[in-house]
Chains A and B, each alone.
Chain A
């Protein structure tokens, strides 16, 4: 779905005053709002930062709607403090709910909400729609549309000059069932998948979903374990964008908050530091400073050793290993060896301009055993250069015209598509200099 934002993140805390003081230190900002929800039996502190807001949520002790205070109490008792919910913002909740339901996500009807700032008496209204966590692989997510203008929730004033948290960079969710998480975010929520990358050497796979300028990072193992299937995802941590990580760490140290770092981040061009200790109230917390080079193209490509699983948008799809060409100077003799040693027999032999080819089927592909008939052709030249044996690879594609166009745009030297030697085929040849010395032929079968 388009236009979704990470409206805010809710952190469950036991002692609201203590947590508020800690987050004033971490964020370097005074609260925007101190609220009570008599109806829900909860109270909160809000900090609006540049691109979202963070809500510290605690039980108020007042009797309220058990749906809220009951869930919060159970979470605090069973899991302790930490990220409690992700609130996804929309500008039209009625339409959004309809679209989510069409996409297979079971969302409750939108309900009105209302908050009062206990210090100023200011009021704000919103409508939110809850999702049962069993539909989102265990994550607590709700959708929200604010009825009050943005300025109704004032920006949290920085307490220091330049060393405060500017923005939320990303929120991290741990998943033991990455494909389930992917279905939730790609199919049910319809968030934009920006990256799906596997790091075999770190045994990690990450999915990046973008909600406006904030990334939801889903992190799990490189390979799916059987035990993990069906296990709930859990919110794990938050990464805060700062202007100067050095100044921020100095400020935190002076406030008695322990940090490790700064150190270079995994993404080139970033500096990161981890906030340690109890001050984060169960939220794994990272500070991140983007240096200008982290926005360059080079920083966006996969790091060495990483596997990028993100589906590329392309106009054609390679569908099969069509055949493999093997050269020989003695077609009947070599074909006999293939039949004897491997049990793979030629079914037909055909003659072409400068070669004779025996087709040896191998179930999902075939071997084109090829003997040059003159000393002048491409086959003879390849044999003169490399000896007889392994020669070329043919890849089947679903749209050879698009493939040729696409490849030329990417600087590959490739011939125009022409009729192939087999009836109903069109082929185009990629220069071996473009393909690590391998003559690659694209084939489209009609």
Chain B
């Protein structure tokens, strides 16, 4: 079940050049800045109330974020909802025939995550996430096998 909007993802060319607006002008507090090498992105997380804006900068040329930037330019990329059980929600969506990018959950910046296919939601890219400490309580042995 979805419990809140965890973040909105914005694709930018360079995080260093985006922070003057999002952090310094809009006043959102930057609380995490990291390079996620396996995903080929640099990410900055900025708090707004109990939600976040996530700035994403591709550091390789062959991932989804880089292709999005190439094709559409900078802009609003996705919305991520927090789930109280991402495995169950993914299984439910698959059972209903919702088209998914991720057939199994994986570890992302926001915790255990999966992406819906944009076709499933008429063009909007949706991510579900569950923070890892919460996830570990439900799945102490790690992620279930794909079914």
Residues of B within 8 A of A247 (CB): none
Whole-angstrom distance between the alpha carbons of A342 and B89 in the complex? 8
Q: Given A341-B120, A390-B79, do A308 and B5 touch, yes or no (CB 8 Å)?
A: no
Whole-angstrom distance between the alpha carbons of A386 and B76 in the complex? 10
State whether the Cβ of A387 lies closer than 8 Å to any Cβ in chain B. yes
Residues of A within 8 A of B77 (CB): 390
Contact of B4 among A317, A318, A319, A364 (CB under 8 A): A364
Interface contact B125-A390, CB-CB below 8 Å:
yes
Q: Given A307-B33, A316-B27, A330-B122, do A365 and B76 touch, yes or no (CB 8 Å)?
A: no
Whole-angstrom distance between the alpha carbons of A435 and B23 in the complex? 11
Give B80 Cβ to nearest chain A Cβ, in Å.
11
Give A252 Cβ to nearest chain B Cβ, in Å.
38
State whether the Cβ of A434 lies closer than 8 Å to any Cβ in chain B. yes
State whether the Cβ of A200 lies closer than 8 Å to any Cβ in chain B. yes
Contact of A342 among B53, B122, B126 (CB under 8 A): B126
Name which of A308, A342, A391 has the most chain B CB atoms within 10 A of its CB. Answer: A342
Interface contact B48-A386, CB-CB below 8 Å:
no
State whether the Cβ of A304 lies closer than 8 Å to any Cβ in chain B. yes
Whole-angstrom distance between the alpha carbons of A206 and B140 in the complex? 36
Interface contact A333-B122, CB-CB below 8 Å:
yes
Interface contact B26-A440, CB-CB below 8 Å:
yes
State whether the Cβ of A344 lies closer than 8 Å to any Cβ in chain B. yes
The residue in chain B whose Cβ has the minimal distance to the Cβ of A199 is B33
Q: Given A364-B5, A386-B72, A395-B48, do A200 and B34 touch, yes or no (CB 8 Å)?
A: yes
Contact of B8 among A324, A328, A334 (CB under 8 A): A324
Interface contact A320-B125, CB-CB below 8 Å:
no
Whole-angstrom distance between the alpha carbons of A391 and B27 in the complex? 21
Q: Given A330-B122, A390-B79, A437-B75, do A365 and B51 touch, yes or no (CB 8 Å)?
A: yes
Q: How extensive is the interface on chain B, given as a class?
A: 35 or more
- Contact residues of B between 22 and 39, Cβ < 8 Å to A: 22-34
Interface contact A389-B123, CB-CB below 8 Å:
yes
Interface contact B50-A337, CB-CB below 8 Å:
no
Q: How extensive is the interface on chain A, given as a class?
A: 35 or more
Interface contact B25-A436, CB-CB below 8 Å:
no
- Contact residues of B between 61 and 76, Cβ < 8 Å to A: 72-76
Interface contact A436-B21, CB-CB below 8 Å:
yes
State whether the Cβ of A340 lies closer than 8 Å to any Cβ in chain B. yes
Interface contact A324-B48, CB-CB below 8 Å:
no
Whole-angstrom distance between the alpha carbons of A47 and B109 in the complex? 53
State whether the Cβ of A118 lies closer than 8 Å to any Cβ in chain B. no
Interface contact B96-A318, CB-CB below 8 Å:
no
Contact of B2 among A306, A308, A317, A344 (CB under 8 A): A344
State whether the Cβ of B16 lies closer than 8 Å to any Cβ in chain A. yes
Residues of B within 8 A of A392 (CB): 76
Interface contact A436-B123, CB-CB below 8 Å:
no
Given contacts A200-B33, A324-B76, 7 further A-B contacts (CB under 8 A): A320-B49, A320-B51, A343-B2, A362-B81, A363-B3, A363-B4, A395-B48
B interface list, Cβ under 8 A from A = 1-5, 8, 10-13, 16, 18, 21-34, 48-53, 55, 72-79, 81, 93, 96, 98, 116, 118, 120-126
A interface list, Cβ under 8 A from B = 200, 304-309, 312, 314, 316-321, 324, 326-330, 333-334, 337-338, 340-344, 362-365, 367, 386-393, 395-396, 406-407, 410, 412, 432, 434-440
18 CB < 8 A contacts A-B: A318-B27, A319-B48, A320-B49, A321-B8, A321-B53, A341-B93, A341-B98, A343-B1, A344-B2, A362-B81, A364-B5, A367-B79, A389-B118, A390-B78, A434-B21, A437-B74, A438-B10, A438-B75
